[in-house]
Amino acid sequence: MSHRSVIFGALAKGKTVIHQFLLGEDCLRTVKAFEQMGVRIEQTGQTIEIESKGAYQLKEPLYPIDFGNSGTTARLMLGVLAGQPFHSVLVGDDSLSKRPMDRVTVPIQEMGAQTDGRLGGKFLPMSIRGGQLSPMTYELPVNSAQVKSAVLLAGLFAKGTTTVIEPTATRDHTERMIRAFGGEISREGQHISIQGGQELQGTELTIPGDISSASFFVTGAILANNSQLVIQGVGLNETRTGILDVLKQMGAQITLEQTESIGDEPVGNIHVETSSLKGITISGDMIPRVIDEIPLLALAATQAEGETIIRDAKELRFKETDRIEAVVQVLSVLGAKITALDDGMKITGPTALKGGQVSSYGDHRIGMMAAIASFITQEEVAIENPSCINISYPNFFEHLDSITK
């Protein structure tokens, strides 16, 4: 949500104030991208203030825009830049440069943007020249909220109505955020439509706690002995609570308490305690709802009675690292009974985990999964390159210490 709040704040006319902004490296890449295009953005603690003249007043960046490790920034910004009448050069770190961008460049090229990049235009570094776009109806080939959002963002600059058809529902923060900034967007079944040429208006909003970040501590509390934990002020958008639904299917004692709505987003508290788990199959329509949390589900499955099978998750092979292989390698080092499948993994439990030295593979979610595994290992877990966690959760170890003392 922090990414999207900055994007729409920069495209909206007037002043936008964002409270509780996530100061991870990824989100700050989005901030810097718009600063390079002339948007005035000021940060005071976790509050961001944006002054913008609107979506059509961005300036051509003088230097390449560096997205670092942020796939969200890269893909959503391609949608924004598709509608800008200037040329931009886009770069990223080694990991991001290995992640495919053609799932976004293909539709925005059909709308009228010109892009080029490595290996047939699929990978960063990449150049893009935007301009006048034509609307389109686009059926997503894969379930991806990032691709959906990129096409909808491009649709804001098209003359007419752009429609995205998704196979199954993905997270809908973009749609809710558009409404929060005074825009109109409609949904009928799996069809999401947006009218181009809308003028968004600056607003003030508060970003709730991120459920993906909270899920690490939820999982830790489930697995640790004699544990009870309440996590307050978390976004409870139903397109993001798949991790909680799956953990409850496995037997976890989790209770949700909605306390308020912020910017059309339900917000509340998560109550969780030590629980006995059973193995299940996770596949099909559930996968898009838990794709980022599958490393945690694999860890939980090592302590579940019986076999857990995760299928239809081949998308994991195209994240910051090949997360299927990374999860299998890390948990195997710790003693788990886990094998990789082409599109997922199979875990048999319960298994007592030992400690050991593991790699984070430069992937923030793998690093945090390994840290949570230390709740239940017999010896300590040493994590190589733990600083990668700063990409999404710079206060992770501080918060970890606060709940384990």
Residue pair 107/177 in contact by the 8 Å Cβ criterion: no
Q: Which of 94, 292, 312, 363 is catalytic?
A: 292
- The rounded distance, in Å, linking the Cα atoms of 354 and 363 is 22
Q: How far is CA 371 from the centre of its chain?
A: 20
Provide the angle, in degrees to the nearest 10, between the axes of the packed helices 25-36 and 2-11: 10
Looking up tokens 């606060």 gives 402
Q: Which residues are annotated as part of the binding site? A: 4, 71, 99, 144, 146, 292, 319, 323, 365
Question: Tell me, what DSSP letter sits at residue 109?
Answer: H
Instruction: Return phi, psi of residue 63, to 5°.
Output: -130, 165
Please report, in range form, the residues annotated as the binding site for phosphoenolpyruvate: 71, 99, 146, 323, 365
CA proximity to 280, closest of 221, 348, 372: 348
CA pair distance 299, 57, nearest whole angstrom:
47
Which residues are annotated as part of the binding site for 3-phosphoshikimate? 4, 144, 146, 292, 319
Going by DSSP bridges, is the β-strand pair 228-235/265-273 parallel, antiparallel, or unpaired? antiparallel
- Closest among 144, 24, 22 to 387, alpha carbons compared: 24
Query: Any idea how long the chain is?
Result: 405
**Separation between Cα atoms, residue 268 and residue 231, nearest integer Å:** 9
Distance CA 345, CA 338 (A): 7
* Residue 24 and residue 97 in contact, taking contact as beta carbons nearer than 8 Å: no
Give yes or no: 401 in active site.
no
DSSP string of 57-99?
Answer: -----SS-EE-TT-HHHHHHHHHHHTTSSSEEEEE--TTGGGS
Q: Is 264 helix (H, G, I), strand (E, B) or coil?
A: coil
- Determine how many CB atoms are found less than 10 A away from the CB of residue 340: 17
3-class secondary structure, 221: helix
Residue 385 DSSP SS3: coil
Tokens of 157: 């600059």
Structural contact between residues 187 and 175, judged by C-beta atoms closer than 8 angstroms? yes
Catalytic (active-site) positions = 292
